[in-house]
Structure 1
Amino acid sequence: MAYRFKQGDKTVQKGVRRIARRELEKAVADIDDSSMGVSETVHQLRKRCKKLRGLVRLVRPGFSGYAEENAAFREAARTLSDVRDAKVTTRTYDALMKAFTGEVDRTAMAPVRAALTARLKDARDDHALGARLDLFRQNMIAAQQRARDWTIDDKGFEALGSGLAKTFRRAREAMEEARGDPTPQKMHEWRKRVKYHWYHARLLQPAFCETMAAHRKAAKRLECLLGDHHDLAVFVETLETYEISDGERRGTVLALAARRQRAIEADAFPLGARLFAESADELVTRWGRWWNIWRDEARMAGAS
């Protein structure tokens, strides 16, 4: 079942519980999936936590357990962040070299790649990682039990509109902040808000699939651009903090990273301006009408 509401959900509360249980069950299954490597497992688990946080943010005004559940999923993801960051640095290095093919001698830069690979191996081989995954599993199983009893102040789209508006408004505001001062911190803050809005678009897309699919794809494209920008920031911090390789090679790679970030910004801001062209109230009003029509269709089908 996809990460979205469906017409068979009798209420918003039932839909939220169903979606949460599925993500939590999949998180446990990810840990048990021997076909995935450590990095892929960690990536999937962190993604599950972000999807769960996106879900509870959508209904936060009417969900009394929001603060506790949001914090629980945030902390669960943080326990695995070092493995994620180590993998990001090697992946970002490779993408950077590909982006500047012909401008840099990859052979000469090989010591940088070797040092990053060694750091990733250390993160994967951490003797405490197994214990952290066991604790993560226990936390997801406990959350499964809690999700069965989540109570949403359920009044149709009213249960969703306020959370949708708040996330959209914050993403719009974060964009303006970043436009005026595109520091890594402000760009990352914008990225986080865009990601939650993308999750909300995914959850609500069935209300008007044909039209909302384009919006969802644009949000995903923007989130990916901003994600690459953040990965470069993590990459830069890693090279500087751990003094990866000698100063000359490190300086060359850092200069390429800065150039790539500027290119990403040139793509991201025009896309963001289009995605957030309307106000939060306008978007919520429009999506709310689509939702109500979609829900009426379900009720009429059930009555026939």
Structure 2
Amino acid sequence: MGFRLKLREPLSDGLKRVFREQIQSALELCRHPAKQRGVTAHEVRKHLKKLRAAMRLAIGEVGKNQHAGEDRCVRKIGRLVSDLRDAQVRLQTLIQLRDETRKRSGEDSFPGIEELLALERESFSAAFAGWQKQAIPQLERVEARLLKWPLENLTWKQICSAVEKIYKRGQRGLAKTIGDPDPENFHAWRKRVKDVWYQLRILQPLKRKF
């Protein structure tokens, strides 16, 4: 179906379909992991981020408390693999830098650091072995609860309000980052940009309604 609503689809049905598709995609990856190292963790995290962005669109109808409770559950699932994924990214980044340096100088650079990062990745892989088995029942429970959210009276005004709030948070984050270009500020701002991007992707087919 794609990560989007459809023109002739009731709003509540469409949003719940998006919830279900993202969770089912994450479940499929957990049940049938990719052979390439790190791919499964990365793709599962992407689906969870999309799910959380979609959930925020319903906050005006379900309320802050109910949304916050389910959001915490989804974040908890994401944390099962966040350290493993971060370790993989650090190693991949160093390998890319090493390859670029080798092209220019003909020498292998950072051998000690590369070995340490590889050991870090293996350590996390061992520590989080079997994370998929932990994630599957948690995802199934989240799906069951989200599909029971009372969204029949969800309105476009509530949807637009949710997007506006995230957009304003992004604006504040950008201003903070410009004033203090700290890596943490960039990271926080980047998350808000992704939230808006995901939400606009969900709503993009309906742009004629606005």
> What's the TM-score, normalizing by structure 2?
0.89
In structure 2, the CA distance between the partners of 1:188 and 1:35, relative to structure 1 (3 Å rule), is closer
Tell me the secondary structure at the aligned position of residue 3 of structure 1: coil
Following TM superposition, by how much is the alpha carbon of 1:8 offset from its aligned partner in structure 2, in angstroms?
3.3
Letter of the 2:18 partner, please give it: I
Is the Cα–Cα contact under 8 Å of residues 38 and 124 in structure 1 kept in the other structure? no
- The percent of aligned pairs where both chains have the same amino acid is 25
Tell me the secondary structure at the aligned position of residue 182 of structure 1: coil
Equivalent position of 2:3 in the other structure = 3
Equivalent position of 2:74 in the other structure = 73
Is the Cα–Cα contact under 8 Å of residues 157 and 291 in structure 1 kept in the other structure? no
Following TM superposition, by how much is the alpha carbon of 1:35 offset from its aligned partner in structure 2, in angstroms?
3.7
Following TM superposition, by how much is the alpha carbon of 1:34 offset from its aligned partner in structure 2, in angstroms?
4.2
Equivalent position of 2:190 in the other structure = 191
Tell me the secondary structure at the aligned position of residue 129 of structure 1: coil
Equivalent position of 2:46 in the other structure = 47
Partners of 1:100 and 1:198 lie apart in 2 by 34
Letter of the 1:76 partner, please give it: I
Equivalent position of 2:114 in the other structure = 113
Higher relative contact order (CA 8 A, sep 6+): 2
Letter of the 1:158 partner, please give it: K
Following TM superposition, by how much is the alpha carbon of 1:69 offset from its aligned partner in structure 2, in angstroms?
1.2
What runs of 5+ residues in structure 2 fail to find an aligned partner? none
Letter of the 1:2 partner, please give it: G
How many aligned residue pairs are there? Answer: 208
Q: Radius of gyration: which is bigger?
A: 1
Kindly provide the CA deviation profile for residues 25-83 of structure 1, in whole angstroms up to 9, marking residues without a partner as x: 11111012244345111111111111111001122122233111111111110121110
Q: Aligned Cα RMSD in Å?
A: 2.1
Equivalent position of 2:170 in the other structure = 171
What runs of 5+ residues in structure 1 fail to find an aligned partner? 209-289, 293-304
Partners of 2:182 and 2:150 lie apart in 1 by 39
Equivalent position of 1:83 in the other structure = 84
How does 1:87-166 map onto structure 2 within 5 Å? 87-97=88-98, 106-126=107-127, 128-130=128-130, 132-152=131-151, 154-166=153-165
Kindly provide the CA deviation profile for residues 232-271 of structure 1, in whole angstroms up to 9, marking residues without a partner as x: xxxxxxxxxxxxxxxxxxxxxxxxxxxxxxxxxxxxxxxx
In structure 2, the CA distance between the partners of 1:152 and 1:29, relative to structure 1 (3 Å rule), is same
> What's the TM-score, normalizing by structure 1?
0.63
